[in-house]
Structure 1
Amino acid sequence: MIEIPEPLQPVITFAHPVLMWILFALTLYAMYLGIQTRRLRTLSGEEKKALIQAKVNVKHHQVGAILLALMVMGTIGGMAVTYINNGKLFVGPHLIVGLAMTALVAISASLTPFMQKGSEAARALHMTLNLFLVILFGWQAVTGLQIVQRILNAS
């Protein structure tokens, strides 16, 4: 069995929760950028010009790519640390929803080529999946804090 060196245990143990809280904030920022990008389609004049100059669409794609990568790494990392610390995974709602969220962010990102070709169905699905992702992320934040509290109480 793999053992985490004692000085690194707190860092490794709490890396996943910290990363996920950062990702939750990043997800909300990506949603904001996505809404601004969506507004570009209906605006005109100075307001549209300002959003174009702010490159909200480029930022939305960049933040989305970072989210995808960090979500996958954070999910795998969280599972790995749980297994290393406990010799098993705890299959429960937090794990199942976390895996579902990872799938949702991957599916959402995979819709990009279709949206770039003008598919309104892909845009609607992208927005729906991401709204659901934000709701699940909020729930995960609460259940994650409960898990962190149990870890702290056990120490």
Structure 2
Amino acid sequence: MELPIPESVKPWLNFFHPVLMFILLALTVYALYLGIQIRRTRSAEGEVKKELIKGKFNLKHHQAGSLLLAFMVSGTIGGMAVTYINNQKLFVGPHLLAGLGMTGMIAISASLTPWMQKGFDWARYTHIALNVTLLALFSWQALTGIEILQRIISKM
């Protein structure tokens, strides 16, 4: 299927996915920081706890996670779409497979929210493990994405 996208626009579509993903990588690190602050709040006592509660880290973490979920799924689909539009095929390799795995992991992680809100520790630990793994994969994805971007730029 040929999409009627002007040839002058097609090469620039290649940059939307990487820019979005680097923003999301930064947002992921921020969400990690917020999650750590939630853990600190949970274990704090007295005045320290009162001060930490004022930071509303739980609300900010939930909002950051919601943005991450929405834009990671959209960014994954968008990256695949642009690759297909420009090449009439997808390149099945480690970058794509890890990205699809990350998309599944963030969806599972977000789906644990109701159990975490009810205080189930297994859900919290699973959420943490998934997201630490996600951050590690995301960091690796950034490196492989730069390699792919360099190949695209060299062909322009």
Band the TM-score falls in, shorter-chain normalisation:
over 0.9
In structure 2, the CA distance between the partners of 1:3 and 1:143, relative to structure 1 (3 Å rule), is farther
Give, as a single letter, the amino acid of the residue that structure 2 aligns with 1:66: L
Give, as a single letter, the amino acid of the residue that structure 1 aligns with 2:117: Q
Alignment of 1:1-155 (within 5 A): 1-155=2-156
Higher mean C-alpha displacement, 107-116 vs 9-18? 9-18
Question: 1:5 & 1:49 partners in 2: Cα distance?
Answer: 57
Give the secondary-structure state (helix, strand or coil) at the position aligned to 1:58.
helix
In structure 2, the CA distance between the partners of 1:5 and 1:72, relative to structure 1 (3 Å rule), is same
State the TM-score, normalized to the length of structure 2.
0.96
In structure 2, the CA distance between the partners of 1:46 and 1:6, relative to structure 1 (3 Å rule), is farther
Question: 1:121 & 1:55 partners in 2: Cα distance?
Answer: 23
Question: 1:6 & 1:63 partners in 2: Cα distance?
Answer: 36
Shift of 1:54: 1.1
In structure 2, the CA distance between the partners of 1:6 and 1:39, relative to structure 1 (3 Å rule), is same
Give the secondary-structure state (helix, strand or coil) at the position aligned to 2:43.
coil
Question: 2:30 & 2:101 partners in 1: Cα distance?
Answer: 21
Question: 1:50 & 1:3 partners in 2: Cα distance?
Answer: 56
Extract unaligned runs of 5+ from structure 1: none
Shift of 1:7: 4.2
The answer to whether the 8 Å contact 1:40/1:48 transfers is yes
The answer to whether the 8 Å contact 1:3/1:84 transfers is no
Shift of 1:47: 2.1
Question: 1:88 & 1:50 partners in 2: Cα distance?
Answer: 53
Question: 2:48 & 2:8 partners in 1: Cα distance?
Answer: 52
Question: 1:148 & 1:24 partners in 2: Cα distance?
Answer: 16
Matched residue count:
155
Give, as a single letter, the amino acid of the residue that structure 2 aligns with 1:108: S
Alpha-carbon RMSD across the aligned residues, in angstroms, is: 1.0
Percentage of matched positions with identical amino acids: 63
